[in-house]
C-alpha cells in the first residue's frame, strides 16, 4: 500500500479510524454513515464529505478517485487524462448498472490505487428482501460483496467508500460482511462546534464563541453556519444590525445587545428576526449579559432540530418546577434528589432511566415536566416515528437517537409508553417492532448515556411493556403515582392548582381540607377539573372564589366511574415499584401473594 494521508493529525477521529483500518488491511470497503451531509473544516475551508474525501483523505495516496451516484453517474474526481475519461464515459453509455460495475472493476484491476466513492448508497443497495431487487440491483450488490472479499483488488491498493445517512438504508448482506467496515460520522463535539463558529464568525469574541459552542450541542457545522455566518444568503451583517438596533431602540444597552443578536441571526428574514426578538422584555439589569443571545440561539436550535427530524420529536419546555406540585411529597423528594445529581453532573448517581407508573390522572406528565425544569434538562418527546415503508421506521429511530445523544445532557420522554413499545412480540409488521424494541434496549443500556441521556417512560399499563425494557440498567428508578389518600393531600393539590391558575380566591388550606373531605378517589385531574369549574362559577358570579362556589362545583362535577380499571392500574404501580417508601400507607403492608391474587381477579373481571 502507498503512503498514508499527508496530515493525519488534522483528520477528524472518524477519518483517522478509516485510515487505520485500511492500512491494517481490515477492510477495503467502508460504509460511512450518520452525519454525512455536514461540512468538514480543513486548512481554513469547509468542504462537503465527498470533497473532503477526494481533497484531503484520499488525495495524496490514491492516483485515481471516481465518484458514482444515481443522479450524476460516473465522474472522475482525480487522476486520468481527458482522453481516458472520455473513453470510459463512452464505454459506459447505455450499459446500465451492471455495465458500470463491470467497468469500475476492470478499472481497479488494470490500474492500481483507485478509490471509488458512492454517495447515497442506499439508492443502489437498498435494504429490502432479495426478491424485491431488480436483476441489475442484485448484480450490483453481488459485485460489491465480491469486491470486498477479493484479495487481488485489496492488494492493488483500491478502496470503496459508501455514503449513507442511516445503516438501515443499506442492504444487510453488505453490513454483515466481515470485510466491510461501517464507520459512524458523529455530530460535532464541543471543540468542533467552537472551530466551526470561529470559521463562520471570525470576528466573534472568544468568550462568546465558547458559550455558543456549549449551547449548540446537537447541531451540525452547516447548521451553525446558518446561525452565525456573517455574510451569505439573506440580510448582511450590517443590515441585520441596523434592523435589530431599530427594534431595540430605547431599551437598556440596545447597541451592545444588537451586536450580539446580529451575530446569531444569519440567514433569517426580517419577519423571522422580528418574531425572535422581543423588545418588550429586555433582560434584567443583574442578569447574565449573554442570556438574551443564548435564549435566541436556543429557539433557533429548536427550530433547526425539529425541522431536521421532520416531526419525529417535539421539544418539551416546562414552565414550572416542583415547587408548583401539590402533595406527592415522597415523589417530589425522590425526584429532587435525582435532579440535584443531574445538575451536579454526578454520573454515578444519575439513573439511566425513569419509569413513571400509575392510574390516569395521577399527575405523571405534569410532575415529570416539573422535574425536567428542576433538573435543568432539555426534554424531547418521541413522536410517531413508525412508517409503512420498508426500513423507514428503523431509519427514523436511528436519526432520533443520534440527535438526542448529540444534544446531551437531555431527557427523552415517552408518554403512554405501552402504546409505543407494547408490541415487541408481534410479527404482523414483518419484525419491525421487534427490531425497534431491540434497538431501544441497546440504546437505553449503553453506559455512555448515563448522565447524558435520561430515558423517561410514562404509562398506566406497565404490564403491556416488554419485561426486559423495565429492568435496572435501563429504567433504574420506578416512580409510582397514586391518587391523594387524605383530605389534607387533596387540599394541597387543589391549593397548588389554584395558585398555578392565579385564581382570585379566599380559600385557605383548612377550608379546602373540609371541602375536599368527601372527594375520596378523585384523581389530580378530577381535582383540577373541579377547581377550574369553581373558578368559572366565580367569574360568572363576579366575585372571588369562596367555599360556597367551590361546594357548588363539587356538587356539579361527575368524576369518571371506572373503579375496577383504576384499582387495577394502582396495583400495577405497586407491583412495579422497587421501593416500599414510595407507596402510600394503604399499600405498604400489602403482601406479594395478596397483590398477585387481586391483580389476577381484576384482570379477569376487566377482560369480561
> 8-185: what fold?
Rossmann fold (3.40.50)
CA atoms within 13 A on the CB side of 438: 7
Q: And the C-alpha cell for 2?
A: 502507498
pLDDT of residue 513: 92
Matching fold, domains 8-185 and 313-480? yes
Is residue 32 within 8 Å of 161, Cβ to Cβ? Answer: yes
pLDDT tens across 452-471, in order?
899 999 999 998 888 888 88
pLDDT of residue 387: 60
Q: Give pLDDT < 50 ranges for the chain.
A: 1-9, 424-425
**Structural domain boundaries in the chain:** 8-185, 190-308, 313-480, 486-608
**CATH number listed for the domain at residues 313-480:** 3.40.50.300
The pairing of strands 353-357 and 453-459 is parallel
pLDDT of residue 478: 92
**Residue 534: its H or E element:** helix 524-541
Alpha-carbon distance of 391 to 432, in angstroms, equals 8
Q: And the C-alpha cell for 457?
A: 417512560
pLDDT of residue 159: 96
pLDDT tens across 507-566, in order?
888 899 999 999 999 999 999 999 999 999 998 998 888 899 999 999 999 988 788 999
pLDDT of residue 430: 59
Task: Locate the DSSP E strands across 167-244.
Answer: 180-185
Distances (CA, A) of 484 to 288, 369, 404, 494, 595: 41, 19, 35, 11, 20
First to last CA, the chain: 73
pLDDT of residue 433: 72
Nearest Cα to Cα of residue 58 among 41, 79, 37: 79
pLDDT of residue 2: 42
Q: What is the 3-state secondary structure (H, E, C) of 130-199?
A: HHHCCHHHHHHHHHHHHHHHCHHHHHCCCEEEEEECCHHHECHHHHCCCCEEEEEECCCCHHHHHHHHHH
pLDDT of residue 3: 38
> Three-state SS for 76?
strand
DSSP 8-class letter at 283:
P
pLDDT of residue 481: 94
Q: And the C-alpha cell for 24?
A: 491494517
pLDDT of residue 560: 81
pLDDT of residue 4: 36
Alpha-carbon distance of 143 to 138, in angstroms, equals 8
Is residue 144 within 8 Å of 177, Cβ to Cβ? Answer: no
pLDDT of residue 66: 94
Amino acid at each position: 500500500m502507498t503512503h498514508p494521508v499527508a496530515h493525519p493529525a488534522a483528520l477528524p477521529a472518524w477519518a483517522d479510524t478509516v485510515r487505520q483500518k485500511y492500512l491494517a488491511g481490515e477492510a477495503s470497503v467502508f460504509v460511512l454513515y450518520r452525519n454525512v451531509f455536514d461540512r468538514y473544516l480543513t486548512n481554513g475551508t469547509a468542504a462537503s464529505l465527498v470533497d473532503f474525501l477526494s481533497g484531503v483523505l484520499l488525495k495524496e495516496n490514491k492516483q485515481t478517485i471516481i465518484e458514482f451516484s444515481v443522479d450524476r453517474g460516473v465522474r472522475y474526481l482525480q487522476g486520468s487524462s481527458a482522453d481516458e475519461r472520455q473513453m470510459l464515459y463512452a464505454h459506459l453509455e447505455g450499459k446500465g448498472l451492471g455495465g458500470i460495475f463491470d467497468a469500475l472493476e476492470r478499472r481497479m484491476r488494470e490500474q492500481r490505487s483507485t478509490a471509488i466513492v458512492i454517495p447515497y448508497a442506499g439508492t443502489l443497495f437498498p435494504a429490502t428482501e432479495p426478491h424485491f431487487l431488480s436483476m441489475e440491483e442484485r448484480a450490483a450488490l453481488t459485485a460489491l460483496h465480491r469486491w470486498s472479499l477479493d484479495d487481488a483488488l485489496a492488494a492493488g491498493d483500491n478502496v470503496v467508500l459508501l455514503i449513507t445517512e442511516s445503516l438501515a438504508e443499506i442492504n444487510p448482506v453488505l453490513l454483515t460482511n466481515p470485510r466491510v467496515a461501517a464507520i459512524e460520522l458523529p455530530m460535532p463535539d464541543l471543540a468542533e462546534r467552537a472551530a466551526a463558529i470561529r470559521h463562520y464568525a471570525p470576528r466573534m469574541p472568544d468568550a462568546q464563541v465558547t458559550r455558543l459552542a456549549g449551547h449548540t450541542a446537537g447541531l451540525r457545522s452547516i447548521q451553525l453556519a446558518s446561525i452565525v455566518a456573517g455574510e451569505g444568503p439573506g440580510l448582511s451583517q450590517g443590515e441585520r444590525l441596523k434592523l435589530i438596533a431599530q427594534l431595540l431602540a430605547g431599551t437598556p444597552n440596545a447597541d451592545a445587545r444588537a451586536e450580539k443578536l446580529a451575530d446569531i441571526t444569519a440567514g433569517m428574514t426580517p419577519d423571522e428576526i422580528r418574531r425572535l426578538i422581543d423588545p418588550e422584555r429586555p433582560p434584567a439589569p443583574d442578569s447574565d449579559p449573554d442570556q438574551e443571545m443564548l435564549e435566541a440561539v436556543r429557539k433557533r436550535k429548536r427550530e433547526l432540530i425539529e425541522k431536521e427530524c421532520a416531526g419525529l420529536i417535539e421539544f418539551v419546555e416546562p414552565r414550572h418546577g416542583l415547587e408548583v406540585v401539590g402533595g406527592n411529597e415522597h415523589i417530589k423528594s425522590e425526584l429532587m434528589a435525582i435532579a440535584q445529581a443531574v445538575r451536579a453532573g454526578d454520573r454515578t448517581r444519575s439513573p439511566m432511566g425513569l419509569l413513571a407508573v400509575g392510574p390516569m390522572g395521577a399527575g405523571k406528565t405534569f410532575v415529570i415536566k416539573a422535574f425536567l425544569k428542576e433538573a435543568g434538562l432539555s426534554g424531547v418527546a418521541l413522536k410517531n416515528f413508525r412508517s409503512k415503508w420498508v426500513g423507514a421506521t428503523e431509519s427514523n429511530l436511528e436519526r432520533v437517537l443520534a440527535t438526542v445523544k448529540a444534544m446531551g445532557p437531555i431527557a427523552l420522554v415517552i408518554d403512554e409508553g405501552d402504546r409505543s413499545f407494547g408490541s415487541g412480540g408481534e410479527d404482523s409488521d414483518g419484525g419491525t417492532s421487534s427490531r425497534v424494541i431491540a434497538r431501544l434496549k441497546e440504546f437505553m443500556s449503553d453506559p455512555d448515556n448515563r448522565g447524558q441521556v435520561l430515558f423517561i417512560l410514562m404509562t398506566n399499563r406497565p404490564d403491556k411493556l416488554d419485561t426486559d425494557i423495565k429492568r435496572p440498567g435501563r429504567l433504574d428508578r420506578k416512580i409510582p403515582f397514586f391518587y391523594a389518600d387524605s383530605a389534607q393531600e387533596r387540599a394541597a393539590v387543589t391549593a397548588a392548582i389554584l395558585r398555578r391558575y392565579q385564581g382570585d380566591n379566599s380559600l385557605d388550606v383548612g377550608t379546602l381540607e373540609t371541602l375536599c373531605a368527601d372527594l375520596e378517589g378523585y384523581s389530580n385531574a378530577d381535582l383540577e377539573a373541579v377547581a377550574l369549574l369553581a373558578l368559572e362559577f366565580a367569574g360568572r358570579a363576579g366575585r372571588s372564589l369562596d367555599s360556597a362556589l367551590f361546594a357548588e362545583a363539587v356538587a356539579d362535577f361527575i368524576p369518571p366511574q371506572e373503579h375496577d380499571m383504576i384499582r387495577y392500574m394502582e396495583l400495577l404501580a405497586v407491583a412495579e415499584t422497587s421501593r416500599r417508601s414510595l407507596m402510600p400507607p394503604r399499600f405498604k403492608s400489602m403482601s406479594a401473594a395478596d397483590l398477585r391474587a387481586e391483580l389476577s381477579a381484576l384482570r379477569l373481571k376487566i377482560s369480561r
